[in-house]
């Protein structure tokens, strides 16, 4: 018999949401627009953030990134090497960032020095959905190389995000995936109310539309 223990899980989520509100309040107090990029492993989150940041910097937006990973500094280094100010945030064991980890990263950042904070979450289409970080936007990124069933298999993250992106359109044919299937699943899931954005970080197609959707 499965016995639900009162408390625990709900307490963790409630505490996360409380801290997320504090993150939101602090970033807003400094005029910062923030985005949480969730999505599958290898979907192109780091590549997309680097490209978006490059275009934002060209418009004069002062931007930094938080690199969320279980261990290591790979994405942090890629951000820095691209000329983007970055802050590394390792979860240790957890498969998602939480509001408290982001709070610690924010305490390292001079919030007056930036207009935008782009957060890369840990590659995972399940756990990050339950943990808002206090950003203005929650984005989910998948790519054509993961097959055409991502939306059907992962309702929660698509329903918990404000913007959904299908990346690697340039190799959809090569991997035998019909993007229309994924876009149709998303339309069905969201009752036809929302369109999924398509892009290719490799060719640059679709990136400006995403930047516009994020309100920059
Ligand atoms: N062909 C093609 N490759 C891409 C595109 N975007 C990213 N890639 C490649 O896909 C691989 C994974 O990209 P990343 O940006 O590291 O993906 P990620 O989502 O940050 O991965 P994790 O942080 O490990 O979850 C890299 O080799 C990228 O160069 C794209 O639009 N087209
Ligand atoms: Mg990455």
**Residue 84 φ/ψ region, left for φ over 0, alpha for ψ in the -120 to 50 degree band, beta for the rest:** beta
Residues bordering ligand 2, an ion, CB closer than 5 Å: 45-46, 75
Ligand 1 atom with least separation from CA of 167: 31
Average the pLDDT over 87-102 and give the result.
96
CA–CA separation, 182 vs 137, rounded Å?
22
CA–CA separation, 139 vs 2, rounded Å?
34
Using CB distances shorter than 6 Å, the residues near ligand 1 are 39, 41-47, 75, 123, 167-168, 170-171, 200-202
**Ligand 2 centroid from CA 42, angstroms:** 7
The whole-angstrom distance between residue 49's C-alpha and the CA centroid of its chain comes to: 9
Domains of the chain in sequence order = 8-213 (3.40.50.300)
pLDDT in tens, 128-177: 999 999 999 999 999 999 999 999 999 999 999 999 999 999 999 999 99
pLDDT in tens, 11-55: 889 999 999 999 999 999 999 999 999 999 999 999 999 999 999
CA–CA separation, 161 vs 141, rounded Å?
10
pTM of the predicted structure, to 2 decimals = 0.96
């Amino acid at each position: 018999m499965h016995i639900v223990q009162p408390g625990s899980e709900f307490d963790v989520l409630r505490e996360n949401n409380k801290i997320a509100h504090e993150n939101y309040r602090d970033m807003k107090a400094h005029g910062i627009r923030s985005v949480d990029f969730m999505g599958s492993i290898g979907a192109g989150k780091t590549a997309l953030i680097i490209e978006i940041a490059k275009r934002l910097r060209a418009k004069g937006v002062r931007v930094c990134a938080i690199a969320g990973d279980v261990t290591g500094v790979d994405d942090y280094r890629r951000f820095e090497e691209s000329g983007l100010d970055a802050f590394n945030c390792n979860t240790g064991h957890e498969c998602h960032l939480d509001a408290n980890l982001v709070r610690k990263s924010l305490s390292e950042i001079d919030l007056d020095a930036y207009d935008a904070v782009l957060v890369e979450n840990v590659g995972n289409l399940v756990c990050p959905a339950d943990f808002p970080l206090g950003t203005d936007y929650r984005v989910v990124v998948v790519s054509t190389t993961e097959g055409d069933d991502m939306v059907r298999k992962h309702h929660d993250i698509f329903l918990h995000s404000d913007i959904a992106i299908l990346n690697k359109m340039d190799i959809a044919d090569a991997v035998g995936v019909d993007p229309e299937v994924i876009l149709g699943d998303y339309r069905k899931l969201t009752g036809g109310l929302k369109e999924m954005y398509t892009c290719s970080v490799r060719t640059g197609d679709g990136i400006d539309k995403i930047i516009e959707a994020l309100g920059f």
